[in-house]
């Protein structure tokens, strides 16, 4: 772990909580709660702002509510964020949080420094059923879906971290659902979370600054597209069905490319908006000029842009990253054929920043 600053490690298991978590309630549910306590409905909006906009962690801090209401509210529920199990800060200032949920489950979220702002990568499931061959989370299998409180708790924890570091919370501008899990297989909680993220009195992110990345789940694509609450990225990783089945067998077999692409062609896009196709480059597997040409055949006539990601090879990794030269050659073929492509630099390599790697590393260290 060269250059890594490890900030904190908490106890092993958190106490089981049974009280209602206000972070798991929609505004309507909060209204029901406060009116049930004999208070006017507008009080719910005040509570909502304290929970999301102001990000308080204790009901006593909601100072524009009467003492009496705060007492009643504290008897009915509480504000519960995921607990920080560990924070790793990379030499390139990428910050990775290992978070512990109420049942002791561990999930990861990463803060990625960009030139003008910070992007946060969010998890939506504990583990993942998709088993993509290049992904550490896939190796763990699926445990359960995360709740809205757990999904959005990642943002609340990150904002608090920035505040504690004396940084501005508005620096956290972009959110990408590219962490652990397949977001569209946790559709209900994802959609509830997106509504709070998009709400001005909630977390106040613009839908253009939120990207949901999926392997391609047909029903979820329809719901997400109709909502207009986020941008779309598709984990493609191969130009053909055969190679996609080799790299990401579960997802590719569940929805073959000839079913997926027509659905994506109907995906509602704003003028000039395009779907991002993620392409993780694996040495000797999908990084050759013939693969680039295949991508051009698949996407050249579509509203598409390609994100090329060099594989982040952790310990015991099944693949290697291609040489920089091969990535540049690949990108050039796409450009020459008029397909927009960007190379995403791999941040936080010294802290296992790729999906699921920190958790795998954390568990390994606990066992040592």
**By C-alpha distance, which of 164, 125, 158, 162 is closest to 142?**
125
Site for ligand SF4 contains 181 (CB under 6 A):
yes
Between 183 and 202, CB nearer to ligand SF4? 183
Helix (H, G, I), strand (E, B) or coil at 20: strand
Site for ligand SF4 contains 321 (CB under 6 A):
no
> Site residues for ligand SF4, window 246-305 (CB under 6 A)?
none
Go through the chain and tell me how many residues it has: 368
Site for ligand SF4 contains 132 (CB under 6 A):
yes
Tell me if 121 is assigned to a ligand binding site: no
Tell me if 213 is assigned to a ligand binding site: yes
324: how many CB neighbours lie within 10 A of its CB? 10
Which of 108, 150, 189, 331 is flagged as catalytic?
108
Contact 152, 210 (CB under 8 A): no
Site string for ligand SF4, 90-129 (x = CB under 6 A): --------------------------------------x-
Between 55 and 356, CB nearer to ligand SF4? 356
**By C-alpha distance, which of 308, 304, 303 is closest to 344?**
308
CA distance 30 to 22: 8
**Three-state SS letters, 250-304:** HHHHHCCHHHHHHHHHCCCCCCCCCEEEEEEECCCCCCCHHHHHHHHHHHCCCCE
Sign of the C-alpha dihedral computed for residues 263, 268, 274 and 278 taken in this order: negative
Q: Is 355 a catalytic residue?
A: yes
> Site residues for ligand SF4, window 201-230 (CB under 6 A)?
215
Site for ligand SF4 contains 73 (CB under 6 A):
no
Q: Is 108 a catalytic residue?
A: yes
* 69, 98, 298, 355: which one binds ligand SF4 (CB under 6 A): 355
Q: Which residues bind ligand SF4 (CB under 6 A)?
A: 128, 130-132, 135, 137-138, 180-182, 215, 355
Binding residues for S-adenosyl-L-methionine: 181-182, 213, 235-237, 312
């Amino acid at each position: 772990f060269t250059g890594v600053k490890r900030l904190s490690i908490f106890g092993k298991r958190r106490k089981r909580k049974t009280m209602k978590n206000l972070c798991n309630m929609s505004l309507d549910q909060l209204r029901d709660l406060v009116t049930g306590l004999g208070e006017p409905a507008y009080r719910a909006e005040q509570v909502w702002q304290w929970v999301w906009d102001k990000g308080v962690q204790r009901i006593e801090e909601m100072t524009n509510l009467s003492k009496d209401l705060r007492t009643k509210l504290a008897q009915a529920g509480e504000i519960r964020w995921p607990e920080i199990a560990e924070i790793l800060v990379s030499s390139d200032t990428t910050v990775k949080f290992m978070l512990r949920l109420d049942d002791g489950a561990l999930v990861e979220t990463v803060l990625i420094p960009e030139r003008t702002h910070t992007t946060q990568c969010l998890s939506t499931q504990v583990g993942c059923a998709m088993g993509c061959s290049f992904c550490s989370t896939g190796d763990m299998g699926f445990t359960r879906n995360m709740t809205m409180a757990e999904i959005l708790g990642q943002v609340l924890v990150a904002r608090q971290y920035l505040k504690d570091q004396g940084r501005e919370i508005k620096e956290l501008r972009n959110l990408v659902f590219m962490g652990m899990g397949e977001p569209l297989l946790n559709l209900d909680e994802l959609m509830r979370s997106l509504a709070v993220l998009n709400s001005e009195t909630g977390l106040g992110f613009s839908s253009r600054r939120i990207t949901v990345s999926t392997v391609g789940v047909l029903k979820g694509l329809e719901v997400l597209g109709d909502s207009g609450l986020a941008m779309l990225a598709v984990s493609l990783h191969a130009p053909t069905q055969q190679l996609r089945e080799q790299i990401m067998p579960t997802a590719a077999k569940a929805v073959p490319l000839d079913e997926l692409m027509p659905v994506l062609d109907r995906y509602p896009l704003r003028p000039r908006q395009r779907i991002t196709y993620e392409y993780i480059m694996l040495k000797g597997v999908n990084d050759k000029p013939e693969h680039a040409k295949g991508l051009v055949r698949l996407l050249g006539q579509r509203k598409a842009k390609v994100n090329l990601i060099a594989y982040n090879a952790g310990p015991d990794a099944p693949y290697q990253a291609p040489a920089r030269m091969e990535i540049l050659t690949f990108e050039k073929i796409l450009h020459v054929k008029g397909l927009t492509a960007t190379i995403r630099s791999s941040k936080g390599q010294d802290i296992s920043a790729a999906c699921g790697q920190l958790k795998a590393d954390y568990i390994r260290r606990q066992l040592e």
